[in-house]
A and B are shown apart, each in its own frame.
Chain A
Amino acid sequence: MASFVELAIPRLNTKVKVSTGLFINNEFVPSVGGADPITVYNPATEQVLCSVTGASEADVDKAVVAARNAFRTTWGKNVTGFERSRLINKLADLMERDAEILAQLECLNNGKPFKIARDFDIGDSVACLRYYAGWADKIVGQSIEIDRRTKTAVTHPDPIGVCGQIIPWNYPIMMWAWKVAPALAVGCTIVMKPSEITPLTALKLSELVVEAGFPPGVINTIPSLGSIGGAALAAHKDVDKVAFTGSTVTGRKIMEAAAKSNLKKVSLELGGKSPHIVFESADLDQAANWAALGILYNTGQDCTAGSRVYVQDTVYDKFIDILKGKAAQLAIGDGFDEKTGGGPVVSKGQYDRIWGYIEAGKKEGAKVILGGEKRSTPGWYVDPTIFTDISPNMKIVRFVNCIVQIFGPVLSVGRFSTEEEAIKLANDTTYGLGAGLHSNDQAQCHRVSSALEAGTVWINQYNLLYNNVPFGGKKQSGIGRELGSHALEEYISTKAVHWNYGEKLDWPL
């Protein structure tokens, strides 16, 4: 039973068709559990785009059954690495073929500029799939010497099994690729819950999964509220592993549910309040470019957003001036507009939340040197906002000192005098996702990067990630690593086989 919508994209004079059912066993189907449909919005206009089927707990069960069956019969150990490689490559080719359509959907639902969605989000996602397709036939274990005369031991990198994957709304397509690619490469099957705010591209990608030729049940897509679908996956007794990207608050709930149900394996990519340090020897103009990118890319809706910039006092005034100029250059607007460098924030919820922090900051006397004023026109827009001169005795120091991640284009700039002070300020947080530093002193670069408690440290750059370099959080920013060869580990369950061919046992001992 095919239910779909056709979404109009007036600026491009086209329409995009999207199936709106739940995707289970390679088919789009209605819900069996009577969950409410999910309303999907266009953040640039605040208008409703459409609604899609929401999954209930019963639908999650169905999807898990489908994934388990596939794992037992057509996937898992029943498919060769070559075949997995071939299928993942095929999926990448199809994504590439449909890049324009997918970019339009991403822009419509998430708000990010169309060109950035096409060239970066989708371009990187296609490369991510191809990268992991290359790993699929190279999953090796070890053979280990015990006693060469009588026995040997080998390890088998078995696929873990059925994986629940829960992804966020800030990079819908890219987060989908980061999760799906390594899991499929290793031989796991997937029940994917895209964010209820941005389900459309995951549904569209499900159509490509069928076209690529994946057996039914290998990937299943069940948009739903976190409290329903996400909770159901985290607590499910027949899901072997859950991988989650989202807020630390939700991450805790997932881990708790995993512990209480079947001790499923958990990997988490959570929030960050990443420090961005500018030393006096830095190229200030470049540092300002990277700092602007760090907080404004994706309209600040990035887990590694460099939301705390610390500048050495000797160059503070000069740097602030340059940075303010850079930030002001970003044109925020409708993603389909050629001139737009950044889109609206993704939802009313986020909009209200971010403005809540901005208003609180202003009320408590923090200095706003850029932005900080709401627009009067429709669309959930937040313009680049910079706070300075935040002193430790202000109440708002809470959100500067990292308990709260704003997740918008809101930057606070602080100052420091010594390297030790900078490191202390940077590390004074329960988060540990990303960090950046700008310096031309190579020993300082190493000392500071070594001291920063973050899973990714950028030296003289920010924000840029590569499919072959691992990414993840220290401290409460996460558990496990994505990207690179490390992501494969998250989906592998190692079996050691001890093979005796020469030892005879005496009994009794």
Chain B
Amino acid sequence: MTTFSYNFDTEVFRQKVSFPTGIFINNEFRKGSDATEIDVINPTTGKTITKVSEATKADVDDAVRAARKAFQTVWGLNMPGSDRSRLLGKLADLMEAHSDELAALEALDNGKTFGWAKTVDVTAAIECIRYYAGWADKVHGKTIETSEAKLAYTRHEPIGVAGQIIPWNFPLLMMTWKIGPALATGCAVVLKPSEFTPLSALRMCSLIQEAGFPAGVVNVVVGYGSTTGQAIAEHMDIDKVAFTGSTLVGRKIQEAAAKSNLKNVTLELGGKSPNIIFDDADLEQAVNWAAFGIFWNHGQACCAGSRIFVQEGIYDKFLEAFTKKALEIKLGDPFKQGSYQGPQVSQIQYDRIMAYIQSGKEQGAQVHVGGERFGTEGYWIKPTIFTNTTPDMKIVREEIFGPVGVVIKFQDEEDVVRQANDTTYGLAAAVFSQNITRALKVAHRLQAGTAWINCYNQIHCQVPFGGYKQSGVGRELGEYALENYTAVKAVHVNLGHTI
């Protein structure tokens, strides 16, 4: 069985860590059934740092069996919500006690800087678990008036065994977005972390064990999408699958669910989110938020503001200031003080992004800044801005998932709303204007699950998040997420109606 041992000896974090990295089923770690392993690569160097056990279809079966058993015996309706609440609270406490370690693992595995991992990813992940701990004993049904001859009420029961497939861009945070509401409602979980970034999820397994969750409640199976992910999507004894990742894979998941047992599906997919800046925006703020909107997390955010629409009145001023911001971004080792942007997560992503940059050049767009690699080792790409695009270009229509933004000039409200909505995606959108009437009217017209006004990339675990159109099905976060993991049973009690 695999273990990961590593000595962090850096400017920002110094600690020896060591934890098991096997398949986690029934609160135990073990080898995968084929005894195969997956290489975990450090995107800063391009080199393998460790191997973790790979889960096969047979391992997924074992995990589902364990989850089902736990759900029927010690979890599900067998444990009161207040007890589930305590366990989630304990998990949050443990995460807090190990927060720097989790941040360091995230930075090592994903390439984001330790600073961002600590202040955003780990902090938000802990908040998410605490938030859902609070919901666990507040999953209410309703009593519904029909007549005095009947008592009708609903129970919001846990759906059962949930398969959860998460991406590599916010590994730990995405894990908490998934397990938080699932565990709060009483579901048992089979979670597949991304094969690119399994380390923080595997570290969480030890914490889940330590917190006292009964065996089988949370199971973690690291594997490839086409094998392990597919096994989850088509499993006949999984009641619900929740997926965050690309729209392409999202379709496959929904198809597999339809062909197997019609399991419930929620999807958080891609986006090509418009960031609309009117000429009466606070220019300096708009520039700052726009930079944050596309360059934060190296552009690897599903809701990234990758199409930046700027009204012609301020276009030149905006572009100048925005370019300056892009050039000020410090690329560097995730474990060095002052680094803002680390490498992209993998060779595959690097190649993909570079291919888009190439297509932009070939299709006639202007590389205003960036557009090339940074450094000689690892997967860094310089913050890139394209201008002079046309709506049919690949870089304008397709999700790049890198630090690459297109800046598009627009004339008026009608023009920009039409362009902004001209996409199969609908995850997020933003409007910058000091005229609140205009800002609200435009925001209300945008076909997106999140509309930001005078800000970008602001996410709070109490506020729902999800996509319109092909950006997704269902909502995460807030009270809304509970619906994804509950099945409503209506109970009709006859109190006097005879036939």
Contacts and interface: CB of A to CB of B under 8 A. Distances in A.
B266 to A, nearest CB: 21
B138 A447 contact: no
Interface stretch (A7-15, A108-116, A129-137): A129-137
A501 interface: yes
B273 to A, nearest CB: 22
Interface in A132-173: 133-138, 140, 148, 152
Contact of A138 (B137, B436, B462): B462
A33 interface: no
A89 B89 contact: yes
Interface stretch (B27-35, B60-68, B126-134, B236-244): B126-134
Most buried by B among A89, A134, A140, A499: A134
Contacts of A447: 495
A401 interface: no
A89 B127 CA distance: 13
A179 B440 CA distance: 40
B414 interface: no
Given A85-B130, A499-B440, A502-B441, A442 B495 contact: yes
Nearest to A148: B444
B498 to A, nearest CB: 11
Given A137-B462, A447-B495, A85 B134 contact: yes
A97 interface: no
Nearest to A185: B134
Given A137-B134, A485-B138, A502-B441, A450 B148 contact: yes
A374 interface: no
B491 interface: no
A458 interface: no
A149 to B, nearest CB: 8
A82 B127 contact: yes
Interface in B181-214: none
Label chain A's interface by main secondary structure: helix
Residue with the greatest number of chain B CB neighbours at <10 A, chosen from A81, A138, A447: A138
A262 interface: no
Interface in B73-107: 81-82, 85-86, 89
A443 interface: yes
Interface string A483-499: 00100000000000001
A133 B462 CA distance: 14
A446 B134 contact: no
A134 B85 contact: yes
Contacts of A140: 462, 479
B440 A134 contact: no
Contact of A446 (B82, B479, B493): B493
Contacts of A130: 82, 85-86, 89
Interface string B127-158: 10011011111101000000010010000000
Contacts of B85: 130, 134
A501 B436 contact: yes
A502 B442 CA distance: 11
B134 A134 contact: yes
Nearest to A82: B127
A474 B77 CA distance: 32
Contacts of B130: 82, 85
Interface string B395-410: 0000000000000000
B440 A468 contact: no
Interface in A116-136: 127, 130-131, 133-136
A302 B81 CA distance: 27
B495 A135 contact: no
Interface string B421-457: 0000000000000001100110010000000000000
Nearest to B150: A446
B492 to A, nearest CB: 13
A501 B441 contact: yes
Contact of B479 (A85, A133, A138, A152): A138
A508 to B, nearest CB: 23
| Count class of interface residues, chain B | 20 to 34
B496 A443 contact: yes
Interface in A366-409: none
B441 A134 contact: no
B134 A133 contact: yes
Interface string A419-455: 0000000000000000000000011001100100000
A501 B437 CA distance: 4
Given A127-B82, A148-B444, A134 B436 contact: no
A499 B136 CA distance: 34
Nearest to B134: A134
B141 to A, nearest CB: 13
B131 A137 contact: yes
Chain A CB within 10 A, most for which of B134, B444, B479, B495: B134
Contacts of A502: 437, 441
Contacts of A136: 134
Nearest to A92: B89
Contacts of A134: 85, 133-138
A468 B495 contact: no
Interface in B103-131: 127, 130-131
Given A442-B495, A450-B148, A501-B437, A468 B127 contact: no
A442 B493 CA distance: 9
Nearest to A445: B495
A124 to B, nearest CB: 11
A448 to B, nearest CB: 11
Contacts of B444: 148, 152
A485 B81 CA distance: 15
A152 B444 CA distance: 10
A502 to B, nearest CB: 6
A295 to B, nearest CB: 28
Interface string A66-93: 0000000000000001100100010000
A128 to B, nearest CB: 10
| Most chain B beta-carbon neighbours within 10 Å: one of A443, A447, A499 | A443
Given A82-B127, A85-B130, A468-B138, A131 B437 contact: no
Contacts of A467: 82, 137
A81 B85 CA distance: 17
Contacts of B496: 443
Contacts of A85: 130, 134
Nearest to A151: B440
A131 B83 CA distance: 11
A443 B495 contact: yes
B76 to A, nearest CB: 18
Given A81-B462, A442-B495, A443-B496, A135 B134 contact: yes
Nearest to B436: A501
A101 B222 CA distance: 48
Nearest to A131: B137
A148 to B, nearest CB: 7
Given A82-B127, A138-B479, A502-B437, A468 B493 contact: no
Contacts of B134: 85, 133-138
A235 to B, nearest CB: 36
B494 to A, nearest CB: 8
Given A82-B130, A152-B440, 7 more contacts: A81-B462, A131-B82, A138-B135, A152-B444, A450-B148, A485-B138, A501-B437
23 contacts: A130-B82, A130-B89, A134-B85, A134-B134, A134-B135, A134-B136, A137-B462, A138-B134, A138-B462, A138-B479, A140-B479, A148-B444, A152-B444, A442-B493, A443-B496, A446-B495, A467-B82, A467-B137, A468-B81, A485-B138, A501-B437, A501-B440, A502-B441
Interface of B: 81-82, 85-86, 89, 127, 130-131, 133-138, 140, 148, 151, 436-437, 440-441, 444, 462, 479, 493, 495-496
Interface of A: 81-82, 85, 89, 127, 130-131, 133-138, 140, 148, 152, 442-443, 446-447, 450, 467-468, 485, 499, 501-502
Closest 8 CB pairs of A and B: A134-B134, A501-B437, A501-B440, A446-B495, A443-B495, A468-B137, A501-B441, A137-B462
